Amino acid sequence: MKSNNRKMYTKKRYMIPLILISVIIIARLTLPIFVKKYVNEVLSDIPGYYGHVDDIDISLIRGAYVIHDLYLNKVNADSQVPFLDFKKTDISVEWKSLLKGEIVSEIVMTQPTVIYVFEDQGEETTASNDDWTKVITELVPIDINNLELVDGKIAFVELTAEPTIDLHMDHLNLQATNLRNVIQQERTLPSEIHGAAVSIGGGEFKLDGKMNLVKAIPDMDISFSLENASITAFNDFTNHYANIDFVEGNFNVFSEIAIADGYLKGYIKPLLKDSQLISTKQDDFFNTLWEGFAGFFKFVLKNKGNNTLATKVPIEGDLNNVDSEVWTTITNTIKNGWIKAFKGVVDNDVNFDDVEEEAENQKEQ
Percentage with pLDDT > 70 across the chain: 72
Task: Give the Cα separation of 93 and 247 in Å (integer).
Answer: 52
Residue 67 burial (CB count, 10 A): 22
Mean pLDDT, to the nearest integer, of 30-37?
A: 80
pLDDT at position 127, please? 43
DSSP string, 274-336: EEEEEE----HHHHHHHHHHHHHHHHHHEETTTTEEE--EEEEEETTS-EE-HHHHHHHHHHH
pLDDT at position 139, please? 75
7-21, 143-157, 171-185, 315-329: segment of lowest average pLDDT:
7-21
pTM of the model: 0.79
Each residue's pLDDT tens digit, 75-86? 888 788 888 999
Question: Which one is predicted more confidently, 43 or 256?
Answer: 256
Count of positions (residues) in the chain? 365
Whether 188 and 214 have beta carbons less than 8 Å apart is answered as no
pLDDT at position 289, please? 52
pLDDT at position 136, please? 64
Each residue's pLDDT tens digit, 266-291? 999 988 888 776 665 555 555 555 55
Q: Taking the domains of the chain in order of start, what are their residue ranges?
A: 34-180, 184-190+212-365
Each residue's pLDDT tens digit, 198-247? 999 999 999 999 999 877 778 999 999 999 999 999 989 888 887 778 88
pLDDT at position 341, please? 62
131-140, 259-268, 347-356: segment of lowest average pLDDT:
131-140
